[in-house]
Amino acid sequence: MNSIIEESRLISLTNEEIARYSRHLLLLEVGIEGQKRLKAAKVLLVGTGGLGAPLALYLAASGVGTIGIVDFDFVEESNLQRQVIHSTRDVGRPKVASAQERIKGINPKCNVITYNTMLNSGNALDIIKEYDIVADGTDNYQTRYLVNDACVLLGKPNVYGSVFQFEGQVSVFFAKEGPCYRCLYPEPPPPGLVPSCAEGGVVGVLPGIIGCIQANEVIKLITGFREEDGASLIGRLLLFDAWKMKFRELVLDKESACPICGANPTIHELIDYEQFCGLKKSDEAEPIETISATELKSRLDAGVPVQIIDIREPHERAIAKFPNAKSIPLGQMTRRIDEFDPAIDSVFICKIGQRSVFAIHALREAGYKGRLLNLKDGVNGWAREVDRLLPVY
């Protein structure tokens, strides 16, 4: 595959740049022309977290001329275990500001454009159209589908990565040359079925490994490669298990029935991705009652009877023990329904108040008639609002 960077955009390298990138120039597959293409390239990074960190660091070090970074989040202490572009002194800063500073420290010649905003259907096309390649480092389905659809509509390659616990995935979705993300995943999973890294955890080195593979794919798209060598991840999904230290590969086919890149596409503009991923509340669905940490504390202080159910697994409860809670892991919920007293309110707790919603749904579907409440923000909310001695994790 030829480089996606047009010849007319190439400019010469300075003597300083030749010295800086000399190890690239010695590679037949890169050389002077490839380094010029890197200098001319514009790459957009969606997210500056675990995947965006190595992407930004290595693309800047490799000589990519313009790097755009989209993120609306702030650096938190829990990020530092894997998001190596940020440091302890950056806690509380916008991630784009921290990332920009680090990128410029590595390569002052790199033009860094920051977007301290959430990528959405209203701004995605305007932002992405300015770039040659998009590297998706997000951790939620609605943004993955958004990035995919915007890239297909604009004809841009989407270098995709995802991580969870010890497992990672990488591919290049480029509708001009092969399948897109919707060809692999036509529909998102039900909301909450797949825990986020914040709930399920991730080993710190995994995003570094996957992010570096993404960076490698970006560099290959920019410098060009021979398709007959099978060098690209276009049409291939690379799977990595860090615990077992094994790689697997799946061949991906372009789906003729794909609604956006197939033979007869039905999607011609960006849609409401929160609705598509089932994240908007249905008017018909029975709402889940919530209770704040301070409200629960008031009830307990007043001696009001309440059943507190901790749905976390034993290894997670060992991190932060919730006082006077009964342990019933989520997977055991319905078969232990007889342990609940319908005459007493039940409050369900997890780490951040998301998984516990599924416990409430499961009991409702099983026919439980008692009142069920979800502790807002979970154990972390209790630690922040009530018991400051309890760790936030």
Overall average pLDDT of the 251-257 stretch: 95
The pLDDT assigned to 106 comes to 97
Instruction: Tell me: pLDDT of 357 over 80.
Output: yes
Last residue of some domain: 215, 244, 276? 276
224 and 79 housed in the same domain: yes
Helix%, strand%, coil% for the chain, nearest 5:
40, 15, 45
Overall average pLDDT of the 231-237 stretch: 92
Half-sphere exposure for 232 (CA within 13 Å, toward CB)? 27
Instruction: Tell me: pLDDT of 58 over 90.
Output: yes
CA distance 122 to 375: 33
What is the amino acid identity at position 302?
A: A
Q: Which residue carries 């440091």 as its tokens?
A: 87
Asked if the structure places residue 2 within a domain, the reply is: no
Last residue of some domain: 221, 255, 276? 276
The pLDDT assigned to 282 comes to 55
Q: Which residues of 140-149 are buried (b: 16+ CB within 10 A; e: fewer)?
A: bbbbbbbbbb
Instruction: Tell me: pLDDT of 208 over 90.
Output: yes
Is 207 in contact with 54 (CB distance < 8 Å)? Answer: yes
Is 183 in contact with 148 (CB distance < 8 Å)? Answer: no
Is 119 in contact with 98 (CB distance < 8 Å)? Answer: no
CB neighbours (10 Å) of residue 74? Answer: 17
Q: Which residues contact 370 (CB under 8 A, 6 or more apart)?
A: 340, 341, 342, 343, 344, 345, 346
Q: Which of 147, 159, 163 is nearest to 215 (CA)?
A: 159
Q: pLDDT tens for residues 60-73?
A: 999 999 999 999 99
Owning domain of residue 343: 289-385
The pLDDT assigned to 231 comes to 79
Q: Which residues of 183-214 are buried (b: 16+ CB within 10 A; e: fewer)?
A: bbeeebeebeeeeebebebbbeebbbbbbbbb
Instruction: Tell me: pLDDT of 284 over 70.
Output: no
The one catalytic residue among 151, 261, 277, 350? 350
Instruction: Tell me: pLDDT of 313 over 60.
Output: yes
Instruction: Tell me: pLDDT of 287 over 70.
Output: yes
Overall average pLDDT of the 353-367 stretch: 91
180 and 66 housed in the same domain: yes
Last residue of some domain: 237, 253, 276? 276
Specify the DSSP element, H or E, that contains 384.
helix 378-385
131 and 204 housed in the same domain: yes
Overall average pLDDT of the 6-10 stretch: 91
- Note if 197 is an active site residue: yes
Please return the burial class of 385, using the count of CB atoms within 10 Å of its CB with bins 0-12, 13-18 and 19+.
middle
203 and 340 housed in the same domain: no
Task: pLDDT band for 281, please (50, 70, 90 cuts).
Answer: low
CA distances from 207 to 146, 283, 370 (A): 21, 38, 43
Q: pLDDT tens for residues 124-162?
A: 999 999 999 999 999 999 999 999 999 999 999 999 999
23 and 65 housed in the same domain: yes
The pLDDT assigned to 230 comes to 61
Q: pLDDT tens for residues 72-122?
A: 999 999 999 999 999 999 999 999 999 999 999 999 999 999 999 999 999
The alpha carbon of residue 163 and the mean position of all alpha carbons in its chain are separated, in whole angstroms, by 8
Is 65 in contact with 38 (CB distance < 8 Å)? Answer: yes
Instruction: Tell me: pLDDT of 331 over 90.
Output: no
The pLDDT assigned to 285 comes to 60
Instruction: Tell me: pLDDT of 283 over 60.
Output: no
Average pLDDT value for the chain:
94
259 and 307 housed in the same domain: no
Instruction: Tell me: pLDDT of 13 over 80.
Output: yes
Overall average pLDDT of the 9-19 stretch: 96
Q: Which of 183, 190, 184, 154 is nearest to 259 (CA)?
A: 183
CA distance 296 to 378: 11
Domain count along the chain? 2
Asked if the structure places residue 1 within a domain, the reply is: no
The residues with which 241 forms a beta bridge, in sequence order, are: 167, 246
The pLDDT assigned to 366 comes to 93
Is 130 in contact with 150 (CB distance < 8 Å)? Answer: no
Asked if the structure places residue 87 within a domain, the reply is: yes
Task: pLDDT band for 280, please (50, 70, 90 cuts).
Answer: confident
The one catalytic residue among 197, 258, 261, 277? 197
Asked if the structure places residue 392 within a domain, the reply is: no
Q: pLDDT tens for residues 20-40?
A: 999 999 999 999 999 999 999
**CATH code for the domain in which residue 311 is found:** 3.40.250.10
94 and 128 housed in the same domain: yes
- Note if 350 is an active site residue: yes
222 and 256 housed in the same domain: yes
